Structure 1
Amino acid sequence: MHRTPCSAMLRNRCNRAKGPRGIITLLAPFILTLGFAGTVSAQQPASPELPRQLAWTAYNLGTTGYNQSVAIGAMLRDRYNITLRVIPGQNDVSRLLPLVSNRVQFSANGVATYFAQEGVYQFADPQWGPQALQLLMTSNGLSNQAVAVAADTGVTSFAELRGRRVPFVRAAPALNISMEAYLACGGLTWEDVERVDFPGYEAMWEGVINGDVDVAFGTTVSGPTRRLEASPRGIAWLPAPHDDEACWQGMHSVAPYFTRHMATRGPGISDEQPQEAGTYPYPALIAQSTQDEEMVYWMTRVIHENFDDFKDADPGAIGWQLERQVFDWVVPYHAGAVRYWREIGVWTDELDAHNQSLLERQRVLAEAWEEAESAGIRDRDEFSEHWQQLRAQRLEAAGFDPVWETWD
């Protein structure tokens, strides 16, 4: 199976015990260690290809991504007497830094995986660059990543947001790009709305409740959506109809990581009244391309084979079910994971062709980054501008859509 090699820069980075370019980041003080003691509750022996101690990063304490990781850790403890240390990260960088510096084997990350692969936004920094990250499997639950509007506005479509107050969360490209994608569903851009800046996710939703803005982006099962529903303003969800090709073409031109999905969980959403919009995997279990193939194979296998052990531990855990896997997303699968999915008969030649294309994209990005570094540009802003131009040129020359040719 073809493996995408790290560039020289990435290989050096992979081998260091510290973060990229020697950065040492202090992780969140709360580290959950699962499996201190106890007997193995099942007869299955521990796999010889998995160490007895594993670690991965996840979202903050209390998030569904963290809770799902804890549940998988409990399964590993009970089935195989394996300890999984789940390290919560406050932001995208703190989740990915331990991974690229080999402090953890895996990360239960979000859509920032794609930004890191592409070397954009916070990963366009000279200390980062495009990362050769690859998937094991993903959680695709019953919710959507969607846009809620205050019900008292009467707005029912994205086109009706023209001139409305729309939030922009500082230093949160995953939120802002997703909002921009949904605006594009209605033929709008940031120029067509009144942008209102907020310092964080919670503040954005409070802004809707307090009447400072009219909409917000988030997971349909996120806690703040319930607060908006209970407020005098009320909540409604804007649809992205799956048969509206213009809508989805606009969305994918901004954020190709969205997939069509009918949500059945969230305020005002149910099996009888699903919400038709988009989503993306959360969390996605990832590793570096250089991670041992056997370890990736066995981690993928034990999660899949023991799904029933943790499926009820968190409402979002249903997303790990085989039937809910998305094998043709925007980030490639690791060779070890491909080996397992092929072994059980779900990996097709079509999927493999798609995966090989994504691996080639990562190779082009790594070579472009090396070229950018060789230019010797020391000024950070000048380097970023040079990288943006070079990245777009090299991707287009290789037949790929750069998606972003510039960014702020």
Structure 2
Amino acid sequence: MKLMFTKIALAISLLIIVSACGGESTTGGKQYVNIGTAGTGGAYYPIGIAMAEVLSQELDLNSSAEVTGGAADNVELVQAGEVELAISQSPVVYAGYNGNDPYEVEHKNISTLFNGLSKGVFHVVVSENSNISSMSDLKGKRVVLGPAGGGAINVVADILSVYDVSIDDLNATYVSYSEGVSMLNDNTADAVIIQSAAPASAITELAASSNNFRILAIEEDKLNSILSQFTYLNHIELPSEMYGTESGISTVYLTNMVIVSNSLDEEIVYNITKNLFDNLDKVKDSHPSAQGLTLESAADNVPIPLHPGAERYFKEKGILD
């Protein structure tokens, strides 16, 4: 499946300028370093805003967070030079770099800036009075899967396969998580699958206005199958107080990370990395899911090579040999 680029109207004029002048503005000579995130209902967007603010305030850069189709789309956008940094997911980045499904070609214009940003947690939200009690019940149902081009789609397919359900078995809709939650409230969707750092803002907004929803837990036998078949996933227990549910929710997560365009030179990327970690608290405070980000783990288990500028910084800090 060839992924489609997501173009947000608000960013079009900015991206044209970036393409036309090689990343520099026509006035003032400042370089644009724009950050691909996802829809506004997840964690990527507020984290991206905080990162852009750090870069704009601490460096002589014009930086902004751009709404995109999400993790899979962001690999395409960085590859094409439409954004310079982006938040994505480790397995998605690995697939893009190597040209594995859903990508048709290798994406070698991307590198790792840092790993361990946050955990992308798998949520399945249904109405309180729904007859859906397990993911096996999603066959034939109206299911929101998030923005088209999001990395969540491939993860959904992997997890549903354990339940003998495929994407083709769903009456799928591709809209933002916030829109999906509204559709659930309006009874125009039966379920919303949200892959986001927890707590997901779309769900916390729903919980603030209504308690008429449930989040499906993954049954223990299915969990064991998922973890054995898909080693990029890990188990997590969401506490009941996170969303006001009756009990904790057993589910899975993957690691989120930040990628960077190879078109940015080593010095710029070194300074970007340095200033983000010099202002780590601001990034961590942007969303609860980013609280686990540490300098010590930022270069661990990277799925593709580090950018030379990031590698230089981590070596300087003693994180790498």
Question: Is this a same-fold pair by TM over 0.5?
Answer: yes
CA distance in 2, matches of 1:331, 1:181: 22
Structural mapping, 1:356-371, within 5 Å: none
Superposition deviation, residue 235 in structure 1: 1.5
Q: Are the equivalent residues in 2 in contact too, given 1:310–1:317 (CA < 8 A)?
A: yes
Across the two proteins, how many residue pairs are aligned to each other? 294
Structural mapping, 1:29-48, within 5 Å: 29-30=10-11
Which of 294, 299, 302 in structure 2 is aligned with 1:321? Answer: 294
**Cα displacement string for residues 114-156 of structure 1 (whole angstroms, at most 9, x for unaligned residues):** 44324356642xxxx2202221114534772333344434766
CA distance in 2, matches of 1:192, 1:25: 21
Q: TM-score, normalised by structure 2?
A: 0.68
CA distance in 2, matches of 1:52, 1:156: 53
Distance 1:211 1:290, change over 3 A: closer
Which of 79, 90, 99 in structure 1 is aligned with 2:78? Answer: 99
Report the equivalent of 2:311. 338
CA distance in 1, matches of 2:166, 2:227: 20
Superposition deviation, residue 25 in structure 1: 9.2
Q: Which has the larger radius of gyration?
A: 1
Report the equivalent of 2:66. 88
Structural mapping, 1:133-212, within 5 Å: 133-138=110-115, 140-141=117-118, 144-153=121-130, 158=135, 161=137, 163=139, 165=141, 167=143, 169=145, 171-172=148-149, 174-184=151-161, 187-190=162-165, 194-202=169-177, 204-209=180-185, 210=187, 212=189
Report the equivalent of 1:247. 226
Report the equivalent of 1:307. 280
Superposition deviation, residue 286 in structure 1: 0.9
Q: TM-score, normalised by structure 1?
A: 0.56
Q: Does 1:298 align with 2:275?
A: no
CA distance in 2, matches of 1:300, 1:242: 42
3-state SS in 1 of match to 2:117: coil
Any stretches of 5+ residues in structure 1 without a counterpart?
1-23, 34-50, 349-408
Report the equivalent of 1:258. 233
Q: Are the equivalent residues in 2 in contact too, given 1:134–1:333 (CA < 8 A)?
A: yes
The structure with the largest strand share of the pair is 2
Q: Are the equivalent residues in 1 in contact too, given 2:33–2:63 (CA < 8 A)?
A: yes
CA distance in 2, matches of 1:311, 1:162: 35
Q: Are the equivalent residues in 2 in contact too, given 1:241–1:277 (CA < 8 A)?
A: no
Q: Are the equivalent residues in 1 in contact too, given 2:88–2:259 (CA < 8 A)?
A: yes
Determine which structure has greater relative contact order: mean sequence separation of CA pairs < 8 Å that are 6+ residues apart, divided by chain length: 2
Q: Are the equivalent residues in 1 in contact too, given 2:87–2:259 (CA < 8 A)?
A: yes
Report the equivalent of 1:280. 254
Q: Are the equivalent residues in 2 in contact too, given 1:311–1:317 (CA < 8 A)?
A: yes
Report the equivalent of 1:268. 244
Q: Are the equivalent residues in 2 in contact too, given 1:142–1:316 (CA < 8 A)?
A: yes
CA distance in 2, matches of 1:320, 1:182: 26
| Identity score, percent | 16
Structural mapping, 1:196-235, within 5 Å: 196-202=171-177, 204-209=180-185, 210=187, 212-214=189-191, 216-219=193-196, 220-226=198-204, 229=207, 230-231=209-210, 233-235=212-214
Distance 1:29 1:214, change over 3 A: closer
Q: Which amino acid aligns with 1:130?
A: E
Distance 1:99 1:151, change over 3 A: same
CA distance in 1, matches of 2:315, 2:245: 36
Superposition deviation, residue 222 in structure 1: 3.1
Report the equivalent of 1:56. 34
CA distance in 2, matches of 1:199, 1:102: 25
CA distance in 2, matches of 1:183, 1:263: 20
Q: Does 1:119 align with 2:99?
A: yes
CA distance in 1, matches of 2:118, 2:243: 15
Q: Does 1:131 align with 2:95?
A: no
CA distance in 2, matches of 1:241, 1:312: 33
Distance 1:296 1:285, change over 3 A: same
**Cα displacement string for residues 165-215 of structure 1 (whole angstroms, at most 9, x for unaligned residues):** 36264844623322222224xx32325994112142345444544174245
CA distance in 1, matches of 2:103, 2:165: 23
Q: Are the equivalent residues in 2 in contact too, given 1:150–1:215 (CA < 8 A)?
A: no
